[in-house]
Structure 1
């Protein structure tokens, strides 16, 4: 099997599909990776086809214990303090000479959900149920860094994952697959349902202009009373821009001993705050008085105490004080909001 290999993908859905031939797995918050166990060692490929091998010596060491001719599909994750930590994955790329120390302090795991080749035999055309059975046998005596993802056809189990695992551990949702389905590289033949939560945040800035903002830049206070950046909304609709444009105010600096109190976020917003592996350019924005609370819908994926994906604006909350908004992500029990 040649590389790079485009992995099979999942299409987003608004509810978890059901049926006698459908099985479900947790959607892990990590990096998708295909592993090739060849005669000359191990090669780890990202979803985009990049070589991740050198960043995960702990995982490649574990894969070397498997027979040659094996090709695996799964998710690279780091588990820290009872929760998935996506930021620790990105540390692998930037650690440089400290990589081995990072790997020792925060070891990674490879959560496996598919087997694409077994002993040199390409098995893409076998049904998922048979590929899963072979994968289970392959991992019987595997090192603990190689974990088999849970799988179930029981919707009660799925509900438990969505209600408890997502908020508590950072599982993003559920991936659903047909038990009789073949593996089709590049095709969105699976389904993914992301858990969404409704919560509040404070508007600290906008892109576009103050009277018709394109997107909102959101924040929350930490325990020291500092307003910290936590994420950005999807583009706003025309009615939403008009509604918010009448409520937002320019920043009002306060004169204090030693100078002027300025906005708590830098201008422009640093590119690294986006949380993406391929960092965009720094983001110029309009700073606003942090006095407007908005209700948003977000998923449970976050890093560096920020939502990693853009959130959806729902409405303003004039009835909620900025000091009643939950604290910075991770600093208050129940900080994710309500599923």
Structure 2
């Protein structure tokens, strides 16, 4: 792909963010929703559209419908930073988005029609063949708004506010639509590739879960890699919620010894004994069987009698499971495992995703 100057040429490493516990209280920040999608830079010039992923690899082949649409609506000689998302009936659908990264061309074409993607732009790196990266964040935002004034789906401009109260409302209210938190951007900040100069604020909650299995740590047989967590649904069925894997090596070794009594007769009447059947999750396999994914990850798991409860921290749900790995807090031996149920989870009602797309809270 030919570009008009070096600043418009891929690859450009995206600017990054570090985690903050709460929204900054001081002045001088622009707040935006944190979209739960695939980070991407879009380069547009006379030769076409180039979509670059966060790892600097091209994404065009996975999103042909997005490539075509952006070619039609974007002026030549521009670079946008943003997020590729897929929306469903209840908001953003990260599972459907992940499914779009598929090696089969036929499958990609089918999914492009079934679950078409959108691009939400939140920064302007180049316009008219001239770099804007040295400009302050606030000036780039003004130019971005002008640049996308006539944007139409599947291209969207992310909402922005300087009002902390509005940003807090987004953090609380729109999570049900699949949004992943709020971004805080210093308004005087130039675009600094690969630097963690932004702030991301995400929810963090706790839940008491059943520990019903574990995976070994990498290739070791003497340490726990992750605990497999579950919650009982309304029918009394133990559903897999995800895993907790943040332990020191000393803790991993100690956990294996501590869990040893629960491994005896664990598969007898175990609620997940049928893992490995076609309806099971792709990453789940029969206990004790050495199985590896295409990426070489050891997918073996070991069953535990579901008798112990643990308190864990989690950020958000993806469907009926934890979106990311949870963090182990403590054992809850004072609580019967049977009382670890879905009802304890803090759920947020699904919000209209279109309301976020069309929000007009851009206060200056």
Note the alpha carbon deviations across 1:303-329, whole angstroms, 9 max, x for none: 6x43342211112233444343234xx
SS at 1:152 equivalent: coil
SS at 2:207 equivalent: strand
Paired residue total: 325
Shift of 1:239: 6.9
RMSD over aligned Cα atoms: 3.3
1:283 aligns with 2:294: no
User: Which residue, out of 254, 262, 265, partners 1:249?
Assistant: 262
User: Which residue, out of 199, 202, 226, partners 1:191?
Assistant: 199
1:148 aligns with 2:157: yes
User: Which residue, out of 232, 236, 240, partners 1:229?
Assistant: 240
2:23, 2:345 → 1: CA distance? 25
Q: TM-score, normalised by structure 1?
A: 0.84
User: Tell me, which stretches of 5 or more residues in structure 2 are unaligned?
Assistant: 1-7, 286-292, 349-364
User: Which residue, out of 21, 35, 54, partners 2:28?
Assistant: 21
Partner of 1:204: 212
2:108, 2:301 → 1: CA distance? 35
Q: TM-score, normalised by structure 2?
A: 0.78
SS at 2:100 equivalent: helix
Partner of 2:147: 138
- In the superposition, relative to structure 1, how do residues 280 and 335 fare at CA in structure 2: closer, same or farther (>3 Å)? farther
Aligned ranges for residues 300-315 of structure 1 at < 5 Å?
Answer: 300=316, 302=318, 305-315=320-330
Partner of 2:62: 55
1:242, 1:203 → 2: CA distance? 12
2:15, 2:194 → 1: CA distance? 5
1:302, 1:195 → 2: CA distance? 13
User: Tell me, which stretches of 5 or more residues in structure 1 are unaligned?
Assistant: none
1:60, 1:298 → 2: CA distance? 35
1:301, 1:58 → 2: CA distance? 28
2:271, 2:209 → 1: CA distance? 22
Alpha-carbon contact 1:13-1:191 (below 8 Å) kept? yes
Shift of 1:145: 1.0
Structure whose residues are more often strand by fraction: 1
Alpha-carbon contact 2:216-2:223 (below 8 Å) kept? yes
Alpha-carbon contact 2:233-2:341 (below 8 Å) kept? no
Partner of 1:111: 120
Alpha-carbon contact 1:128-1:181 (below 8 Å) kept? yes
